[in-house]
Amino acid sequence: MSGDKAKLAMSVRRLPDFRISISLEYVKFGYHSLVTHLQKLALIPLATILFVEATRTDSNNLLQVWLLLKYNLLAVLTLSGLLFVGCISYFFTRPRPVYLVDYMCYKPPVLLETGFEEFLSHSRLIGFNDSALEFQRKILERSGLSEHTHVSEAVKCVPPRPTMLNARTEAEQVMFGALDNLFAATGVKPKDIGILIVNCSLFNPTPSLSAMIINKYKLRSNIKSYNLSGMGCSAGVISINLANDLLQVHCNSYAIVVSTENITQNWYFGNRKSMLIPNCLFRVGGTAILLSNRSSDRCHSKYRLLHVVRTHQGANDKAFRCVYQEQDEEGKTGVSLSKDLMAIAGHALKANITTLGPLVLPFSEQLLFLVTLVAKKVFKAKTKPYIPDFKLAFDHFCIHAGGRGVIDELEKNLQLKPEHVEASRMTLHRVGNTSSSSTWYELAYTEAKGRIHRGHRIWQIAFGSGFKCNSAVWQALCNVKPSQYNPWLDCIDRYPVEIVDGIPSRKTLKDHH
């Protein structure tokens, strides 16, 4: 008997501590659900009272109400007129819904693929010194890029030919390649386009890029065309914002936004290490997006634009002069992202999510943020600032694939899970940094995986020079299927790949070969 009691006591001691085993994640989910549906729950007692009172009402009470309205006809008509005018005013002054009919990402030809060894041998033939070559090797191996990214044809030549003609050729191949697929997929005629916006930060020829498109597709003579330049990788969202503003004014219109970058004339041929990093990261790419404010397009559009938020954080001269800082210690040269620049980027992101938060976050998260803020500012409590859980507001995240460090920092600071930044990491791996179009390659990746369903919300986050942090929020209008021109269709079964410290695993390399 004593042995049975001992075994029973041991089994009791081995029982888990349920207070610890209860996941805080479920507690937070319960709190979020309760606060989110609090208004609906509060309406239940009110509706019950109204129902009970309605059942007690007899015909004499209804007759008295009718007589009251009959002898106060002027007041009733006045109130009805004001209500009618208010409804009409709201109808004509409300923002027009903007729909994303479809978009196409440019897929470069296979002959432009450049592996690491080809890249380095090409750099050796150009004339880079041994130190610069070794530096580029280290960057490539730990950048998160694969062996299948693309450079322009002029850069692949030996010697390179960074001429104006070749730069225009690259621009034509990217823009026309994406636009041809866009017109073919949507069936929209070029003559129907009323607004054209092209953003390319570093290449701004005369005639302009928009003029090249207008001449190629014979767009109508009264089209509103714009060229945005010098805004870095955030210009894609800025272009969407401009298109949204124009579509609020011009009814029943189509707008095309073309986001691209040109590397032919922006390749660095010196040996300064901080200047060599863009050579290792930037690759050929571009996107063409078709937007519409026509109500008839809602039924066959992919997304609706919900919000666009733009923030600009003034940078100091030091951050402008030194995006990357070289460090020499004991004869060894390394490179690290400027701390000043990362701090400025952090402030820009903070300003952006502070503006966006009240627009997208559920009331439960806003309440927690407000309570924490009051405790810290009013009662001087030593509490950490509350970081809202944006996973409750968005189903998918498209973070600009500017580099492995950028993705790592946002994953950490926004408390995201690996699956939330998968599209960004795989885009960096497959196509590299394509500047303002990278968030669209990420959206195309998520579509190719079949993960976007009706009602899902997507957050595009873009960073650019200045320092800018811009956001666009889209809502899926249907279960989105990938287009036949989706650039991921031929390789999506091989993704995601496992990447550790920017280096693909051996299994990944074997699968790709």
Residues known to be catalytic: 233, 312, 396, 400, 429, 433
- Smallest CA-to-CA distance from 121 within 97, 109, 107, 137 is with 137
User: What are 350-359's contacts with CB under 8 Å, separation 24+?
Assistant: 351/311, 351/313, 351/469, 352/309, 352/310, 352/311, 352/461, 352/469, 352/470, 352/471, 353/388, 353/390, 353/471, 355/309, 355/311, 356/307, 356/309, 356/471, 356/473, 357/388, 359/306, 359/307, 359/309, 359/473
- Smallest CA-to-CA distance from 460 within 403, 413, 391, 398 is with 398
Dihedral sign, Cα of residue 269, residue 271, residue 277, residue 280? positive
β-strands 324-329, 224-228: how paired?
unpaired
Cis peptide before 159 (omega within 30 of 0): yes
Q: How far is CA 448 from CA 12, 394, 482, in A?
A: 51, 19, 5
The rounded distance, in Å, linking the Cα atoms of 74 and 482 is 59
The answer to whether the beta carbons of residues 438 and 464 sit under 8 Å apart is no
